[in-house]
Amino acid sequence: MVEAEARRLVPRALSLDNETVRAVVLQVATAAAIVAALYLLGTNAAHNMARQGIVSGFGFLSQEAGYDVGESWIAHSARSTYARTLVVGLLNTLYVSAVAIVLATVLGVLVGIARVSPNWLLRKVSAGYVEIFRNTPLLLQIVFWYTVMRQLPPPRRALQPIEGVFLSNRGFTHPVPTWDPAHGWMLAAAAIGIGAAIAYRRAARRHHERTGRRWPVLWPTAALVVGLPALAWLAGGSPIGLDVPRMRAFNFQGGTTHSPELVALLIALVAYIGAFIGEIVRFGIQAVGSGQREAARALGLRDGHALRLVVLPQALRIIVPPLTSQYLNLVKDSSLAVWIGYPDFVSVTNTAINQTGQAVEGIFLMMLVYLSISLSISLFMNWYNRRIGYRR
């Protein structure tokens, strides 16, 4: 004790016992080690590649790719550049992630509510679902669903649960409305409706804060968001044309087909991440505590109001951070698409790596893209989290 005291009081200027010296030495050593490691790895790679005559750099991005991609949201052919081909893969990743996030959230919220339902049977069934899907590897689930999809009958003998809707080993095919100018008006009306609904809810909140009286919220919102497009549809002559898929030669023509790879990946991602979200929602609701609900009821709030005004805002604050990490997991997990051949970013980049031999560049691009997506989601959710946080 005394010795230690003495040591601290009389720091020896340039010895490792001096905390400042130690800090500097440690940090310089760390920096040196990192720089040295990077330098060694870099020179090794450069040396290896030069020795073998591998052309490095990102020049390949502007060359013609020469191969087709099965699914694309933008015009793409074998004549497109590698850059464009990679964008096709990126859009596919974003698409499958976005759809899965929405569906998994819906499923998760339903499951979470079912988990705390007063109904014993529902509670047990939802608990069983969560346990099974959360405790099985995602890749196993993807492989399983893909095998299921592949074992469906071929398109000529496709299952037809509803007239015009087909399930076959070419995927899930359904009719889409044939394009009509009225659809444009409907989109515009929906946009206006959503804007108006937001404005109305703001006004309602201000009114509530000023007078303590509530305007009805649910019905006017629904009327604006659903009613306006419906009116536009009626005004546009209520077009009911449907592009119905028909079997032609090898595949369905018309309608929209979602490939088996996409469907299998979506089912697996939604079922898996949905189970996790269900647990988060359950935890969030239970954490609010029954006292809050009872207090709200004591104040005379109806059950719906109590849930919407008292329980949910508090639960959301607990739910959002873990929910964010589930969304991030989902985006990253979508890369498992590579195993079943859905042309996501990893899969398309893999092909590019093999055609060009630019493995280092390809992996670098993969990491860059996923880092950017992860960062964007984190930033957005942080912003949202602040917004719903305690207002001071």
Partner 1 sequence: MKAATFLAALALGAVSLAAGAAVAADGPTLAAVKQRGHLMCGGDGTRPGISAPDAKGEWGGFDVDFCRVVAAAIFGDPTKVRFIALTTVQRFPSLQSGEIDVLSRSTTHNLTRDAALGFDFSPITMYAHTALMVHKDLGVKAGKELDGASVCVPPGTSIERNIADFWQQNNIKYKPVVIDNQKELNETYLAHRCDVIANFLPGLATIRAYQAAKPEDHVILPDVLLKEPLAITFRQGDAQWKDIVSWSVYATFEAEEKGLTSKNVDAALKSKDPEIQRLLGVTADLGEKLGLPKDFVYQIVKKVGNYEEIWEKNVGKDAPLKLDRGLNKLWRDGGVLYSPPFQ
Partner 2 sequence: MTGGLPMAAPAQRPPLDRVGALRWLRVNLFSGPLNTLLTLVTFGAIALVVPAVLRWAVVDAVWRSADPAVCRAAAGACWAVVAEKHRLMLFGLYPHAEHWRPVAATVLYVAAVALTCWPGSWRRIVLVPLWTVTVAVFLVLMLGGALGLSLVETREWGGLPLTVVVFTATVMMALPLGIILALGRRSRLPLIRTAAIGLIEIVRGVPLVTVLFCAAVVFPLFLPPGWDVDKLVRVLVAMGIFYGCYFAEVIRGGLQAIPKGQHEAAASLGLSYWQSTRKIVLPQALRVVIPGLMNHVISVFKNSTLVIVVGLFDMLYATTAAIADPLWIAFYTEGYLFVGAIYFLGCWAMSRYSQFIERRLARGRSY
- As a whole number of angstroms, the distance between CA 36 and CA 33 comes to 5
Residue 253: phi, psi to the nearest 5?
-110, 140
Please identify, using beta-carbon distances, which residue of 68 and 180 lies nearer to partner 1.
68
Please report how close the Cβ of residue 256 comes to partner 1 at its closest, in angstroms. 14
The region of 101-109, 128-136, 212-220, 251-259 touching partner 2 under the rule CB under 8 A is: 128-136
> How many of the other CB atoms lie within 10 Å of CB of 57?
9
Task: Report, in Å, the least distance between residue 272 CB and partner 1.
Answer: 21
Cβ 27 vs Cβ 20: under 8 Å: no
Q: Is 171 in a helix, a strand, or coil?
A: strand
Residue 160 touching partner 2 (CB under 8 A): no
Question: Is 339 an interacting residue with respect to partner 2 (CB under 8 A)?
Answer: yes
Binding partner of residue 87 among partner 2, partner 1, none, CB cut-off 5 to 8 Å per kind: none
Looking at the Cβ atoms of 182 and 319, the one nearer to partner 2 is 319
Q: Which is nearer to partner 2, 44 or 256 (CB)?
A: 44
* CA–CA distance, 349 with 80 (Å, rounded to integer): 14
- 354 binds partner 1, rule: CB under 8 A: yes
Of these, 37, 159, 234, 299, which contacts partner 1 (CB under 8 A)? 37
Q: Which is nearer to partner 1, 146 or 327 (CB)?
A: 146
216's CB contacts (< 8 A; 6+ apart) are none
Q: Does 292 bind partner 2 (CB under 8 A)?
A: no
Tell me if 52 contacts partner 1 by CB under 8 A.
yes
Q: Which of 81, 335, 355, 385 binds partner 2 (CB under 8 A)?
A: 335
According to CB under 8 A, which one of 7, 32, 58, 62 is a site residue for partner 1? 32
Q: What is the DSSP string of 43-78?
A: HHHHHHHHHHT---SSGGGGSB-----S--SS---T
Instruction: Select from 48, 119, 160, 238 the one that contacts partner 1 (CB under 8 A).
Output: 48
| β-pair type (159-162, 242-243) | unpaired
- Look at the block and give the residue holding tokens 């099974």: 132
Do residues 74 and 241 make contact, with C-beta atoms less than 8 angstroms apart? no
Chain centroid to CA 253: how far?
A: 30
Contacts of partner 2 in 364-383 (CB under 8 A): 366-367, 370-371, 374-375
Q: Nearer Cβ to partner 1, position 221 or 349?
A: 349
Residue 18 and residue 12: Cα distance in Å, rounded?
6
Phi, psi (degrees; rounded to nearest 5) at 23: -60, -45
Q: What angle do CA 140, 143, 144 make, to 5 degrees?
A: 85
How far is 190 from 232, CA to CA, in rounded Å? 9
Beta carbon nearer to partner 2, 67 or 339: 339
Our finding on whether 246 is near partner 1 (CB under 8 A) is: no
Q: Which two tokens stand for residue 173?
A: 């095919």
Which one among 81, 109, 113, 144 touches partner 2, defined by CB under 8 A? Answer: 144
CB of 81 to partner 1, least distance (A): 14
**Closest to 112 (Cα-Cα) out of 342, 281, 275:** 281
Q: What is the DSSP letter of 227?
A: I
Of residues 343 through 362, those in contact with partner 2 by CB under 8 A are 346, 350, 359-360
Among 10, 51, 211, 383, binds partner 2 (CB under 8 A): 51
The burial of 81, by beta-carbon neighbours within 10 Å (0-12 exposed, 13-18 middle, 19 or more buried), is given as middle
**Separation between Cα atoms, residue 104 and residue 111, nearest integer Å:** 10
Taking the alpha carbons of 215, 218, 221, 224 in that order, is the dihedral positive or negative?
negative
Binding residue for partner 1 (CB under 8 A) from 11, 26, 117, 241?
26
Classified as helix, coil or strand, 237 is coil
* Residues making contact with partner 1 (CB under 8 A): 25-26, 29-30, 32-33, 36-37, 40, 44, 47-49, 51-55, 66-70, 77-78, 149-151, 154, 169-170, 248-251, 253, 259-261, 338-341, 343, 347, 350-357, 359
* Residues making contact with partner 2 (CB under 8 A): 1, 3-5, 23, 26-27, 30-31, 34, 41, 44-45, 47-49, 51, 117-122, 125, 131-132, 134-140, 143-144, 147-148, 151, 328, 332-333, 335-336, 338-339, 346, 350, 359-360, 363, 366-367, 370-371, 374-375
